[in-house]
Amino acid sequence: MGWVLVLVVVGVLVVVGVAIYDRTQRRHAILRNYPVVGHFRYALESFGPELRQYILTNNNEERPFSRDERRWIYTSAYRRDNTFGFGTDNHLDVTPDYLIVAQSAFPELPRPGEPTGPEWDFPVPCAKVVGGDRRPGAFRPSSVVNISGMSFGSLSGAAVESLNRAAALTGCYQNTGEGGISVHHRHGGDLVVQVGTGYFGCRNEDGSFSMDRLVEMVGTAPVRAIEVKLSQGAKPGLGGLLPGVKVTPEIARARGIPVGEDCRSPARHSAFDGVEGLVDFVEEVAAATGLPVGIKSAVGERGFWISLADRMERTGLGPDFVTIDGGEGGTGAAPLVFADHVSLPFLRAFPRAFRPFAERGLTDRVVFIGSGRLGLADRALAAFALGCDAVHVGREAMLAIGCIQAQRCHTDRCPTGVATQSPRRERGLDPDHKSVRAANYLATLRHELLRLARTCGHHHPALVTAEQVELLDAQQVTTSLGQLHDYRPGWGVPGPGEVRDLLADWPADARAPGR
């Protein structure tokens, strides 16, 4: 009995010691929030493949990100070995719309000055200048991979700060989302301010748009551009709601709203109406701020894009960039029918919006950005092949800072502190460590894009054509993206002058992230 008592005491001391260590360490949000018990999650994860092989699901059945995809993001964020052994376990012969990269027989070798692996200070610049020669604040984004619009309120302050620090480390910019600029956005990363239908951060007392407050807001932070949000892929045609319980004093200050009250975004803008009103609004904002101004939208009806391109062709006015969000994009919460059935997925959505601009010869003056589950190298390359000049990553960046795809974003009970305003849960997320992991992931994605581009015979992902990415169907028939969407030769590739100017200075001057 004496030995039993000793073992019990030792066991209790070990558990208490582990619990104290877990609560004070800063590397793992799960262990910090759930000491001792959290170790079971990592133990189960470590032999998950063996369990799945015999009694559970395979590596590709979990959604929205499969176990393989999450593993690649996690290992990339940790700078661990992110390779896979024994060949693909995907069902290439039965998976519809399976992406295949048509590699060149003579791939390009890395150019002098390119690192052999992912590096924070090698950001792969955009092939186009946002704002061209039209805006005083025109700029060439330092990175082709940037952080998507996720507002403070939907994400915790620690998560926003982690992503902003990562942007500063890697030369990316961070889109603020529609919640305005908070203190958590002010840690060195460049910003693109999103103006949504609620006009948070730039609104009058009655909720209407205030140009004066917008100018004041962008003057207080390193803002490079302004994005007018029309809709997003995960809940197109709907507004948003931040429940009053999540509207803390800090969020209320950033958004310009009362503390503790439900914060609603209407389904459409009140500051303008129709294509003509949108173009005029874009020009007014650009004139007042001196910054490039773009739009973000999901894709449904064709008529809007045709009318917008017609208006821009006639007047020479309009947005400097267009962000297209696919229907597979993420959100904190959405009605199931909207998330599942409204708006096109990215590979169908982007060409529908891009084509009217290409037919009118406008693509060289507009920077095209893609979002909606594009934080994996194969899908990102497909976006560039279709005509994107940059991609935004959202949930993948969340995974890099600790998200475990618990899908509790709408409950305020996110276990890792990423998508919550709960101080207890947010405490587990340490920006000092998580910013490094996000930076590692961003650098790895850029590196993978470069390697894929060189595999296709190009030195930059924007040079990959729509004929070099194919879709394999269940009948083993391949169709290139160019064939599928009837792209004409040259569509989706930057003009010769832009490519010449870019490659002349890059990568020699690439190791200078930031402004």
Prediction pTM value: 0.88
CA atoms of 240 and 178, how far apart (whole Å): 10
Q: How far is CA 436 from the centre of its chain?
A: 17
DSSP string across 218-233: HTTTTEEEEEEE---T
What backbone torsions phi and psi does residue 177 show, to the nearest 5 degrees?
70, 180
Does some domain include residue 345? yes
Does some domain include residue 172? yes
Does some domain include residue 124? no
pLDDT cut 70: percent of the chain above it: 88
Q: Which domain holds residue 450?
A: 145-459+486-505
CATH number, domain with residue 373: 3.20.20.70
pLDDT, mean of residues 8-29: 73
For 371-397, the pLDDT digits (tens) are 999 999 999 999 999 999 999 999 999
Q: Is 505 helix (H, G, I), strand (E, B) or coil?
A: helix
CA atoms of 374 and 233, how far apart (whole Å): 13
pLDDT, mean of residues 131-135: 93
Is 484 a residue whose pLDDT tops 50?
yes
State how many domains the chain has: 1
CA atoms of 498 and 463, how far apart (whole Å): 11
Is 169 a residue whose pLDDT tops 80?
yes
DSSP string across 385-444: HHT-SEEEESHHHHHHTT------GGGT--TTSSS---HHHHTT--HHHHHHHHHHHHHH
Does some domain include residue 105? no
For 136-149, the pLDDT digits (tens) are 999 999 999 999 99
Does some domain include residue 103? no
> Which H or E element spans position 48?
helix 48-54
Does some domain include residue 118? no
Does some domain include residue 409? yes
Give the bridge partners for 229, in sequence order. 296
CB neighbour list of residue 455: distance below 8 Å, 6 or more residues apart: 101, 103, 104, 107
* Count of helices and strands (H, E) across the chain: 18, 13
Residue 135 — very low, low, confident or very high, per pLDDT cuts 50/70/90? very high
> Which H or E element spans position 310?
helix 303-315
Does some domain include residue 45? no
